Chains A and B, each alone.
Chain A
Amino acid sequence: MVVLSWLFVLMLVCFAVAPSLIAPRNPVALDILHRLQPPSFAHLFGTDEGGRDVFSRVVYGTRYSLGISAAIVLSAAVFGVVYGALSGVGPRWLDEILMRIVDIFFGFPALVLALAVAAALGRGLTSVAVALSLIWWPGIARLVRGEVQRIRERPHVEAARAIGVSPTSLIWRHILPFVMQEVNVRVTTDIGYALVAVTALSFLGLGAQSPTPEWGLLIRDSQDYFGSAWWYLVFPGVMIMATTAACSIIGDSLASHRESGVAP
């Protein structure tokens, strides 16, 4: 399962990096004569209402859907790690302030807020990215802060502090490497969840706009052809599902490695 998941993710990365090498056709060029064709060798996932190859659109869409999800989670992780570390090692009053701010974010249903923010900022993937990043970082910040505080108490850190290692180096060399293991697990799993969130907002019409081949938008567009072209709806959905599953399986495996691998 884990190997399969890694292979799948590797495939997605290839899709995102070099879609032109994989996709057999142009994802936006129209081919009206071949509209809504069922899956075949020529069109692995069939064609859409404009005769575009759904497979090619899915391949190109990886960059948007997964790319944006990864960007959201990674930017949230960068900010969250800095924020959480600051809170974890900083003075009590700073920790208090920083964590109360994080608490506010846990006080509302995050996706609803993202929806409101994205709607306010106007449609587009940028709005979605901004809105979701805005709600994503507090979770990571809280995680990092907890880990930092936990690891800070460990003997090796105490020892390093005792022998006068500078605070910066303490964080960088003695605390963060351990925290990052935890963050890696979180980021991996979260990319899957972010994908669901991104596609959900696109589905509501807040995210990507056609003819961008974003997966959620593909599903939104495909709805009009539900009865005539099942493939149009099914394949993007399967891609989202498989990606989320792969992320969570890889996350799980990372988590179990971390549990056995960390020095006490």
Chain B
Amino acid sequence: MLQIRDLSVSFGRRRAVDGVSFDVEEGEFFLVIGESGSGKSLTGGAILGLNPSGSTRTGSIRFKGREMLELPERELRHLRGDQIGIVYQNPLSAMNPVIRVGDQIAESIIVHGKGSGRAAATRAIELLERVHIPDPARVAQAFPHEISGGMRQRAMIAMALACGPSLLIADEPTTALDVTIKAQILELFAELRRERSLTIILITHDMGVVTQLADRVLVMYAGKVAEVGPVETIMNQPAHPYTKALMLSGAMSDAPFKSVLQVIPGSAPTLDARPLGCRFNPRCAYAQDDCRATMPSLRPIAGSLAACHHPLVGFRHSELVA
């Protein structure tokens, strides 16, 4: 369904996303994971051409066989919201504060010509009901600040689903939600996927998400793919030391990603200060001379693809738990 090849997103000469390639299959629940600044959100945005002004995309993104990078803005606009829905984090600021929730959902239907006025409004209420919002008619009349955080996130999802897209990109949809709400939202994703055979790309830094739902996982570090593979493989046999570190923090169930930083000394490099060789090398316990000299490329290692000169072998997730 989606083939991404050698995608780069650059700000001037600086590449925030640097040669990322991956495929997403129809009906798949695909997870993109990485620290903030790893380029994961930019990758998600790049699919729809929604990156910040001043950035340029190179490479190739093919959605259902169409080259997205070559589509003019007008046609991209037709795809957005219609065929591909997107859900953002922090719905309080991601929703327009001065427009009623129902109208914001209906807008998607109206701009894509799938109904107007009353019909769109009725559909908005149905959608709210669909995402399990109690009293959807009242919520439709409410402004975003008048409803709870969890409801806002549900409303955001309803908005993304309004035109019945086949692909849903969810960019950190559970950040800033408390644990129970988070679980409910994730359950909603799973349910939607089941019932509508929706393809979902979930972008997160939240390891807790991984284990529960995803089919495959893509780990990003400093603009590069560190590792990509089926969720079980990655979970149980991470090849990349960075993935391992993520797993370590992820193993502590729902602990925030911040703890990764505690597991791995140092911090992710900024856009301007990327090290030579493997970008993870300054923080990597296994780093050797070649790691500091040449950049590793993705290669198959034990069921997944990893970009590492010295992949971890024989590491079992279960050992960690033990």
Direct A–B contact in complex, judged by CB atoms less than 8 Å apart: no
Residues of chain A at the chain B interface (Cβ within 8 Å):
none
